[in-house]
Amino acid sequence: MKRRDASGSGRKDPSFRWGRRRAWLAVLALLCGGCDLWYNRIPSPDDLWHVVPWFDHMIKAKYVHPYQTSAVPRYTPAGTVPVTGSESDWSAEWTTGKTTTADALVNPYARGAGDSVTSAGDSAKGAGRVAAFPPGPDVPVPPREVDAAGDTLFLTYCEPCHGAAGDAKGPVSSRIGAPSLLTGRARGYSDGYIYSIIRYGRGVMPRYGDKVYLPADRWAIVNHVRKLQGEAPLGPEPAGAATGIPPAPSATGSTGERPR
């Protein structure tokens, strides 16, 4: 019902308009007070959900860490988690300049090795045994699939720095001072030494063990390097150029990361 002012003009009484505003303000204050009561004083149903197993609230869920204890079933796809042996880690020895473990690794595709590497666990067979061949490129022709894998992996990960032929004529060779793999020094390294450089890195070279994570693939790269060395004759070098460089951590800081 409209109220008329004293003059009878039909306009709304100002006191009525202020009364409606005060009523709305009261309702708003009540709603705000209700929100505070609901969110801060009334217990939340979320605090009771954990009573029902596996029906927790997402924010306050009781998580189960599947690898925290052996009592929890581990339903993981085959091949994603090694469960039968793994490759040992000699990064601590490598970073201190020692090559004992690296030089003892057996190239599974070299003369007299006899084993084939197909997984991370299999590569451990060669660790700790004396190499059955001298250092250098004198290795037999590996199987076709190994040769193809080595060529592909080398062009993917090594060619930008060391060049497609291993002669340090890659796109970034001169910018970082990448060495040639055809020198007497590189030829003198044991296969296990080259394998370890791939896995852990050294100097300006970062580790590639987290990228080329299958030992078989690392050995394929080693054999491809030997193949390149066998195809390129060794030219004259200044005295002392063939002296090996002791291992050391990668200057990129990647050697000490999680080993692969």
| The pair of three-digit structure tokens given for residue 113, joined into one six-digit string | 């090795």
Q: What is the mean pLDDT of residues 70-85?
A: 64
Counting residues of the chain whose pLDDT is more than 70, the rounded percentage is 57
Position 20 confidence tier, pLDDT thresholds 50, 70, 90: confident
Q: What is the mean pLDDT of residues 155-171?
A: 93
The CATH architecture that domain 91-231 belongs to is Orthogonal Bundle (1.10)
Contact 129, 202 (CB under 8 A): no
Kindly report the backbone phi and psi dihedral angles of residue 101, in degrees, each rounded to the nearest multiple of 5, phi listed first.
-70, -40
Higher pLDDT, 81 or 157: 157
Contact 78, 104 (CB under 8 A): no
Residue 38 confidence (pLDDT) above 90 = no
Sequence letter at residue 256: G
H-type alpha helices, 37-158 = 46-49, 91-95, 100-104, 144-153
**Rounded to a whole number, what is the largest CA-CA distance in the chain?**
119
Higher pLDDT, 249 or 35: 249
| The pair of three-digit structure tokens given for residue 243, joined into one six-digit string | 């002296």
Q: What is the mean pLDDT of residues 233-237?
A: 78
Kindly report the backbone phi and psi dihedral angles of residue 202, in degrees, each rounded to the nearest multiple of 5, phi listed first.
-170, 135
Query: pTM of the predicted model, to two decimals?
Result: 0.59
CA distances from 221 to 35, 151, 206 (A): 66, 7, 16
| The pair of three-digit structure tokens given for residue 120, joined into one six-digit string | 């991370």
Q: What is the mean pLDDT of residues 104-125?
A: 56
Higher pLDDT, 190 or 85: 190
For 41, half-sphere exposure in the C-beta direction (CA atoms, 13 angstrom radius) is 6
Higher pLDDT, 208 or 77: 208
Domain boundaries of the chain, sorted by first residue: 14-44, 91-231
Q: What is the mean pLDDT of residues 177-197?
A: 92
Instruction: Please give the pLDDT value at position 82.
Output: 60
Sequence letter at residue 146: V
Contact 171, 160 (CB under 8 A): yes
Scanning the structure block, which residue is given the tokens 């290795």?
A: 139
List of E strands, the chain: none
